[in-house]
Amino acid sequence: MAEEIVEPTGPAVVEALCASGEPSGVEPLAAGPLAVEPPAAEPPTAASFPENPAAPRFITLEGIDGCGKSTQAKLLAEDLERAGYDVLLLREPGGVTISEKIRELLLDPAHAAMSDTCELLLYEAARAQLVHEVVAPALAQGRIVVCDRFYDSTTAYQGYANGMDLGAVQRANALAVGACHPDLTLVFDIDPAKAAARAAARDRAQDRMEAKGLAYQERVAAGFRAIAAAEHGRVRLVDASRDIDAIHADVRALVLGQ
C-alpha cells in the first residue's frame, strides 16, 4: 500500500525546496485567466522513472464530487508502488493535522453562512500547510506525490462555480503553493447526475459543498473542462463515466505509458 498521510510524520519531514515557509512570490498573471504556469507541450510519462528527470513526480486527480477520483488515486498509487517508486498519497483539503482541521470547518453543513471569500482563503490555507509540511519535502526527497484534488479544484469550485474573479483565484493559488506545481493533472469527466448517484450510494451524509446541488456541480464540471482546454499540456480529461477498470487503464496509460 502506498503511504497515506493524514497526520504529519514528525521529524522525518524535512524542510525543502519550495514553499518552505515563505512562498517564493506571486507570479504576475499570464495572458489566459487559467494559466498558473506555462503548459508543457506534452505531459511526461513515468515509463523511465527515475532516469527521466522530466517524468511526472507530482500528479493530481480532479473532478466533481463522486466522479471516482479517490478510487483511481488509490489504484494509481498502488501501481506506482508496485513499479518500485516511493509514493505519497494525499488528499485535499486535508492531509496534515492543521489542514484536516480546516477541512472540518469547510465541510461542516452547519457553516452555511460561510462567505465565498472565507471559503477561498480556507482552501488556500489548508493547501499552503500541506505543501509546506509534506508536498515540498516529499518532492525534494525524490518521492512521487499523488494528490486527490489540488489547486484546479479551487479554480473550478471557487472560481467558475462560485463566480469569483479568476485572476484573484489564480493569485491565491500561486500564493499557497509557491513553486510546487503538478506535473500532470487528470480530470475525471462525468455527467454530474451520474456522479451524484455514485456519491449518494456512499454511506455518508452530504457535506456543505455537496449540499450546493446539481446545478452547482454542473458549473464545476464546466470549469474543469475549461481548465483542461486551457492547459492541455498539463491537464488531461479522462472519461469517468465508464467502469473502474476501463478508467484505470486510461490512467495507467497517461501516467506510466502502459
Ligand X SMILES: Cc1cn([C@H]2C[C@H](O)[C@@H](COP(=O)(O)OP(=O)(O)O)O2)c(=O)[nH]c1=O
Q: Which amino acid is at 147?
A: C
Shortest distance (Å) from residue 52 CB to ligand X: 29
For 40, the grid coordinates are: 508543457
Distance CA 147, CA 90 (A): 5
- Tell me if the bond preceding 53 is cis, omega within 30° of 0: no
Closer residue to ligand ADP in complex, CB, 87/199: 199
Contact set with ligand X (CB under 6 A):
65, 70, 91-93, 107, 123, 149, 153-154, 157-158, 209-210
- Whose Cβ is closer to ligand X: residue 79's or residue 92's? 92
Q: List the single partner that 201 binds among ligand X, ligand ADP, none, CB under 5 to 8 Å by kind.
A: ligand ADP
Measured distance CA(72)–CA(3) in Å, rounded: 15
109 alpha-carbon distance from chain centroid: 22
Torsion of the alpha carbons at 190, 46, 93 and 180, rounded to the nearest 10:
-130
Task: Provide the β-strand partners of residue 147.
Answer: 60, 90
Residue 63 annotated in ligand binding: yes
Q: Mind spelling out the 3-state secondary structure of 188-222?
A: EECCHHHHHHHHHHCCCCCCCCHHHCHHHHHHHHH
- Among ligand X, ligand ADP, none, what does residue 68 contact (CB within 5–8 Å per kind)? ligand ADP
- Ligand-binding site membership of 65 (annotated): yes
Binding partner of residue 243 among ligand X, ligand ADP, none, CB under 5 to 8 Å per kind? ligand ADP
The residues of the shown chain that bind ligand ADP, judged by CB under 6 A, are: 63, 65-71, 198-199, 201-202, 243-244, 247
Considering CB distances under 5 to 8 angstroms, the limit depending on partner class, which of ligand X, ligand ADP, none binds residue 133? none
Task: Please check if 68 is assigned to a binding site.
Answer: yes
Binding-site residues from annotation: 63-70
- The binding site for ATP consists of 63-70
